[in-house]
Amino acid sequence: MAQFLDLVFDIPANQSFSYRMDDKAGAEPGKRAMAPLGRREALGYIVASREEPPAGLDPGGIKTLRRVVDPEPVFDERDIALAEWLSAYYLCGPGQALAAMIPSGRRLLSYPSLPDEEENIAPSPLELSDEQQGALDRINALPFPAGLGTDRAEPPGTPPMFYLYGITGSGKTEVFLRAAEHTIREGRSVIYLVPEISLTHQTAEAIGRRFGKAAATLHSGMSPGARFAEWMRIRRGEVRIVVGPRSAVFAPVKDLGLVVIDEEHDGSYKSGNTPRYHARQTAMRRCSTEGGRLLMGSATPSAEAWKLMGEGLISRLDLSRRLSGGSLPEIKAVSLERTEGCLTGELREEIRKTAQMGRQTILFLNRRGFAYFYHCPSCGFELSCKHCSVSLTWHKSKGRAICHYCGYSEPPPRACPRCGSLEAGFTGFGTEMIEEEVRRTFPDLTVRRADADSTGPKGSLEETLGMFRAGAVDILLGTQMVAKGLNFPGVRLVGVILADTGLHLPDFRAAERTFSLIVQVAGRAGRYFPDGKVIVQTFRMGDPVIVKSCALDVAGFFEAELAQRKILGFPPYSRLIRFTARSRDPARADKAIGRIASLAAPLMPRGADSLGPAECPIGIIAGNHRRQLILRGPAMGALHGAARTALNRYEKGGDKRVYLEVDVDPVSLL
Ligand code: ADP
Ligand code: ZN
Ligand code: ZN
């Protein structure tokens, strides 16, 4: 006897494909299988099986599966339902959703199951502060919503959501861990999300210490085989708490009771590839269908979260004090006007003073390389990438002018390539230039740089950070890498070399990003001593974003920012769906985006509008011309309908030489 199976593939098609297979081959939903697809053979996901051939198909024409890959299912009905939701919400194929959810490794058969053990959670030695205890009590007090499940009839509602709002060092981590313990004691499981890069490591260690074998880590740095092995351990119910970045939100834990999102505002929670899902949105969905609580935390919530807190949909829990001897740092904005080089007198003096006290300094600049803008004053020439509409950055250590978008490089020009003027040259400082100036100014201090260039070979970032933590380095200088949740006890001084770098970007989130970055970096100072100091250098003294970030005035910042967003009709007061058409041929990109626009126009719901079609702010990347159309509406539901229908109509007869990308709730509009 034969059976019939429905498969989905990692392709942008919103459909499944039917195959037949001999009964004994072990094909069943939840396993992956190789199957003929068009003229090739592809890995597919079995999502359904039946004994009768599907109606309307000629049984003789149905192809046969080549072979089943997995000896036991790697996903279940709950995963399929989540993939269907991802597909509907993020407008991708269900197979693309499953491919993003499930690690691609294959190692399986020899993996032993661990014997059942008593859960043993190592107790924390800390006694919670009143604020911490109060927050924990409120989280724990809420009973789990009853009667939830993927197959219940009514649509899932909003899950219970909490937000731990407090500066760095206010003890959020301890509350997260206690809430996790409580959830596990109640017999449920926990997903603990952290931003990409270094933080995974730090948190995974802390969680491993406390939860032992009941903990698992899933992150992109692991080999596919190792990730897959962890995935199966979770699937079998051997794990009660999973820690990892964005994609760990898909961890197949049983009886989900809690999702923690640490540093909720972090940009790495949004995927940059199809499906362009956001871990927060996905976590909300899982919590509401599986009956879990959502617990987020940050010193600088996203605008979305701040608005929901104001409306009472997320319960805000404040942590207002630093708990290990630190207090809020003193923050001062200093003008860079009339400064030669990139260190103001004030910053230089504080660096010296800090070193004399035997303490450490972090210098932050969100721009790598030596100098990033080549300009000729005689003829106006600007040096840009041959393949992108962005300027080239001079990397002095590599002796090249490099494109940060596509990697193209060339030797830096000796004179203006257009008019030969010797006046032409690079301006605008990057981390390399700061490093040079700092070394020159403080020859007796040890300096280390941490950015994407200094950390090429694996491990050297960890090494630099380890040395700095151990006190072997006086000054740590770097990009975002030094801004994220790292914990350095010896830091007294934080210097923001240029606070304005992101402010001019043509993106409605530019102010929010800049604000949050400054507050986050400032939070590195004074965690353990009450004398932390922050110097914020700027060309825009008096700019509200700079003023409010230096006052750590989150409420004040959002009051103005949200009012502005409301007037302009941007999120969180509207929802966006962005289409981007990319092509080598600008005319094709124009035509494709124009077609999507005219397909969408008659479908737009009441109160919705569209921005564009227009060239993207970065018009060309890696030789591809980029055009965008943004659909904007008061609510996602109706907007989704318009976008989906337009997309379906577009795909029939779409230009194969144009790549059309869909981004629901885009976080970047560049
Ligand atoms: P956050 O996550 O808010 O940035 P952390 O959780 O890193 O803050 O806490 C900062 C420091 O305070 C850590 O060293 C932590 O061990 C310590 N800490 C947390 N809770 C307490 C407490 N109740 N009593 C004393 N120290 C605490
Ligand atoms: Zn010139
Ligand atoms: Zn380029």
pLDDT, one tens digit per residue, over 215-224 is 998 887 788 8
- Kindly tell me if the per-residue pLDDT of 538 is higher than 70: yes
Q: What is the pTM of this model?
A: 0.91
More confident residue, 460 or 625: 625
More confident residue, 320 or 480: 320
pLDDT at 53: 82
Ligand 1 pocket residue status of 169, Cβ below 6 Å: yes
Give, for ligand 1, the residue of 131, 173, 199, 524 to mutate: max count of ligand atoms closer than 8 Å to Cβ: 173
Tokens of 641: 């309908």
Atom of ligand 1 nearest to the CA of 319: 3
**Å from CA of 425 to ligand 2 middle:** 10
First to last CA, the chain: 55
- Which of the ligands is closest to the CA of residue 390? 3
Ligand 1 pocket residue status of 480, Cβ below 6 Å: no
Ligand 1 pocket residue status of 325, Cβ below 6 Å: no
CATH topology of domain 130-319: Rossmann fold (3.40.50)
pLDDT at 389: 87
Is-contact 228 264, C-beta < 8 A?
no
Percent of the chain with pLDDT over 90: 63
- Kindly tell me if the per-residue pLDDT of 547 is higher than 50: yes
pLDDT band at 151 (very low <50, low <70, confident <90, very high): very low
Is-contact 331 586, C-beta < 8 A?
no
pLDDT at 152: 44
The burial class, CB within 10 Å (0-12 / 13-18 / 19+), for 564 is: middle
**Å from CA of 389 to ligand 3 middle:** 7
Ligand 1 pocket residue status of 200, Cβ below 6 Å: no
Query: Which residue is closest in CA terms to ligand 1's atom 14?
Result: 324
Query: Which residue is closest in CA terms to ligand 1's atom 27?
Result: 323
pLDDT at 292: 93
Cβ count within 10 A of residue 663:
23
Q: What would the mean pLDDT of 100-115 be, rounded to a whole number?
A: 63
More confident residue, 300 or 38: 300
Q: What would the mean pLDDT of 260-280 be, rounded to a whole number?
A: 95
Of 478, 537, 549, the residue nearest 512 (C-alpha) = 549
pLDDT at 110: 46
* Comma-separated ranges of CATH 3.40.50.300 domains in the chain: 130-319, 330-370+429-564
**Å from CA of 132 to ligand 1 middle:** 10
- Kindly tell me if the per-residue pLDDT of 150 is higher than 90: no
Helix (H, G, I), strand (E, B) or coil at 404: coil
pLDDT at 354: 95
* Comma-separated ranges of CATH 3.40.1440.60 domains in the chain: 4-101
Q: Which residues contact 306 (CB under 8 A, 6 or more apart)?
A: 554, 558, 562
- Which of the ligands is closest to the CA of residue 403? 3
Ligand 1 pocket residue status of 126, Cβ below 6 Å: yes
- Kindly tell me if the per-residue pLDDT of 203 is higher than 80: yes
- Which of the ligands is closest to the CA of residue 402? 3
pLDDT at 107: 54
**Å from CA of 417 to ligand 2 middle:** 7
- Kindly tell me if the per-residue pLDDT of 65 is higher than 50: yes
Tokens of 571: 């999120």
pLDDT band at 212 (very low <50, low <70, confident <90, very high): confident
Tokens of 496: 């923001």
Ligand 1 pocket residue status of 166, Cβ below 6 Å: yes
pLDDT at 656: 82
pLDDT at 114: 47
Ligand 1 pocket residue status of 523, Cβ below 6 Å: no
- Kindly tell me if the per-residue pLDDT of 117 is higher than 90: no
Query: Which residue is closest in CA terms to ligand 1's atom 20?
Result: 171
Q: What would the mean pLDDT of 642-649 be, rounded to a whole number?
A: 93
Ligand 1 pocket residue status of 520, Cβ below 6 Å: no
Instruction: Give the CA count within 13 Å in the CB-facing half-sphere of 651.
Output: 14
pLDDT at 481: 77
pLDDT at 485: 57
Ligand 1 pocket residue status of 129, Cβ below 6 Å: yes
Tokens of 49: 């099986």
Report the mean per-residue pLDDT for the chain. 88
Tokens of 335: 């003008």
pLDDT at 145: 57
pLDDT at 115: 44
- Kindly tell me if the per-residue pLDDT of 156 is higher than 50: yes
Is-contact 253 233, C-beta < 8 A?
no
Task: Say yes or no: domain 330-370+429-564 is CATH 3.60.20.10.
Answer: no
Least confident residue range of 52-56, 105-109, 198-202, 435-439: 105-109
Per-residue pLDDT tens digits for 443-452: 999 999 887 7
Ligand 1 pocket residue status of 173, Cβ below 6 Å: yes
CATH code linked to domain 575-664: 3.30.70.600
Rg (CA), the chain: 27
* Comma-separated ranges of CATH 3.30.70.600 domains in the chain: 575-664
Measure the CA–CA gap between 187 and 286, rounded to whole angstroms.
Answer: 18
Q: What would the mean pLDDT of 437-447 be, rounded to a whole number?
A: 95
CATH topology of domain 4-101: GIY-YIG endonuclease (3.40.1440)
**Å from CA of 393 to ligand 2 middle:** 18
pLDDT at 218: 87
Per-residue pLDDT tens digits for 16-47: 999 998 877 788 999 999 999 989 999 999 99
In DSSP terms, 508 is beta-bridged to none
Query: Which residue is closest in CA terms to ligand 1's atom 10?
Result: 169
Ligand 1 pocket residue status of 140, Cβ below 6 Å: no
Ligand 1 pocket residue status of 168, Cβ below 6 Å: yes
Per-residue pLDDT tens digits for 375-396: 999 999 999 999 988 889 999 8
**Å from CA of 423 to ligand 2 middle:** 8
Q: Which residues contact 224 (CB under 8 A, 6 or more apart)?
A: 103, 104, 105, 106
pLDDT band at 147 (very low <50, low <70, confident <90, very high): very low
pLDDT at 204: 82
**Å from CA of 383 to ligand 3 middle:** 11
Query: Which residue is closest in CA terms to ligand 1's atom 15?
Result: 171
Q: How far is CA 265 from CA 285, 305, 520, 577, 606, in A?
A: 18, 8, 11, 20, 31
Q: Dihedral (C-alpha) 476, 481, 486, 487: value to the nearest 10 degrees?
A: 10
**Å from CA of 30 to ligand 1 middle:** 42
